[in-house]
Structure 1
Amino acid sequence: MSGVATAGDSQGSAPSIQVNAPTYADLADLALAAPIAAHVRVARAQELKKEAAAGVRPGFGRVYIEAEIVSLIRSADGGLPSRIRYVVDLPRDPKGKVPKVRKGTEFLVFGLPVPGKADEIQLAAPDAQIPYAAARTDQVRTILRESTQPDAAPRITGIGRAFHVPGAIPGESETQIFLQTAANQPVSMTVLRRPGETPQWAVALSEIVDDAAAAPKRDSLLWYRLACTLPRALPGRSLADADAAGAAAIQNDYRFILEQLGPCPRTRTRA
């Protein structure tokens, strides 16, 4: 048992174990980063002590788990056997005891394959074992399905140039902000203002902004990529091509986009 890999083996400074219900962003953080995602049912659980629990942080205990796979949501090459094993560090209760993980308890786990050990996984993060819920599992499936589509929202790495063009009549304008992405895919955000109308904004995932461009729905992959990544203010280089009035208008439209996206709540601390 002492040979079972722990999340801390590859995570360095580990975050706190999650105690609150995970948000969409929490699930996306875990699902998109882990090559393995599975719904499992505990077959056996045992607290590890002494050498087998070396390196456990104060206030935590290490538990060895054998679990049956109820449903494999995402798999690394080669898949997984019907029964796997892993360890998880759990916070002790006020009396200093490690909580019992009962047989039959169901979890969602996000993990990494262990070379040479087909039946073993290493949790992708110390809190990558979360209580199973059908709706939660459906959300993970949706996140992963969206991420594999040809037109999937790419990972945002920065903000490029931004432009502002006044309209033909007072109060009319268009702002376009280009984003930088990990795979150099085109992404831009546009804000249209017309007198007496609510500002309209949209995101385009192609070079051309057409009628198909729209604002992202909350708790979608595109919303996550934007709301959970965009900085609170535009970098100065993005405004290099704008005059003072144009720069002020761009900043105002960018704030409008952030307000429309809303916050990106998380209940876990990422490594």
Structure 2
Amino acid sequence: MARLTLVRLLGAALAYTTLVAAAPPPVVNGGLTDDYGYVELADMAFAAPLAVAADIVSAVPLKPAEAGDVPPGKTRYYVHADVRALVSGRADLPPQVSYLVDLPTDKKRKLKAVPVLLLAAPTARSGELRLVGARAQVPRTPDNEARLRSILTASVAADAPPQVTGVQRAFHVAGSLPGESETQIFLRTADRRPISLNVLRRPGERPRWAVALTELVDDSAAPPKPDSLLWYRLACGLPQRLPEGAVTGQSPEDADAARADYQVVLTGLGPCRHAG
């Protein structure tokens, strides 16, 4: 019976999505690294139908001939883990689940009893999961779990910001004083809810910008907090340059000013860093 289970596993291994190779990280927590940033966790959380808190019971390394297409420097493991909680998603999970994961090759690796967060999808076989990314077996540290729960909670809130899909229009208007101006930028979103950006310039002051989840920007609007869902939607959803179609009909001077103000927003947001 154990041999038949292994044969089914090897079939799954051949179909397993090839994970991205990376340089071996420092070995902590049984060979798992803790350096998961907001963007990486959010990317995987939104790609994963399930987020599962579990404790690894066993991790069996597969032989190269059995493992399928494994990146250089990696070993593919067949893991059994006890389920502690279903953090998000809907599934009737058994007390123990199994899955495949690629980890940097290390003969001294000890994965037994390691607490993890699994960002995964169910498979046709009950109790088998498919991880959604190369690092979707996340160490279940207090910081990682708190960050993941924060992302998931924010995503289902009534005022959750929509996914940004592009820029619709940008309008620049000069003020009555030299050096005074305002640019309004209206964004496209996946569900057509409005998000608008506003950049104000005053003589002798640094440009100020704000975001509002409406088409109008009021006095209470402000930039999003770093490592928040709104920040993530903007930093990872906005194009790196203002599209030419967004300033159609503006004078060359106003179009250039709008482009400059758009860069103020991107600089204020900072980069969307997908790695931990």
Q: Deviations over 1:190-216 (max 9, x none)?
A: 111222333221111123322342210
TM (norm. structure 2) is 0.86
C-alpha displacement of 1:43: 1.1
Which residue number corresponds to residue 257 of structure 1?
A: 265
**Higher RCO (C-alpha 8 Å, min separation 6):** 1
Q: Distance in 1 between matches of 2:260 and 2:162?
A: 25
| Residues 222/6 of structure 1: CA separation in 2 closer, same or farther (3 Å cut) | farther
Q: Deviations over 1:125-172 (max 9, x none)?
A: 132112221111100000111111122121111111110111222222
Q: Where in structure 2 are the equivalents of 1:1-271 lying within 5 Å? A: 1-4=6-9, 9=15, 11=17, 14-16=19-21, 19=25, 21-49=35-63, 52-75=66-89, 77-93=90-106, 97=107, 100-115=109-124, 117-267=125-275
C-alpha displacement of 1:247: 1.0
TM (norm. structure 1) is 0.87
Q: Distance in 2 between matches of 1:38 and 1:239?
A: 46
Moved over 4 A (4+): 4-8
| Residues 2/52 of structure 1: CA separation in 2 closer, same or farther (3 Å cut) | farther
| Residues 79/208 of structure 1: CA separation in 2 closer, same or farther (3 Å cut) | farther
Counterpart of 2:19, as a letter, is A
Q: When the two structures are aligned, how many residues end up with a matched partner?
A: 261
Q: Deviations over 1:238-269 (max 9, x none)?
A: 1112101101111111111111111222326x
Q: Deviations over 1:13-38 (max 9, x none)?
A: 63235846121111111111111112
Unaligned stretches of 5+ residues in structure 2: 1-5, 26-32
Identity of aligned residues (%): 43
Q: Distance in 1 between matches of 2:236 and 2:174?
A: 30
The 3-state SS of whatever aligns with 1:228 is helix
RMSD of Structure 2 on Structure 1 (CA): 2.3
C-alpha displacement of 1:6: 5.8
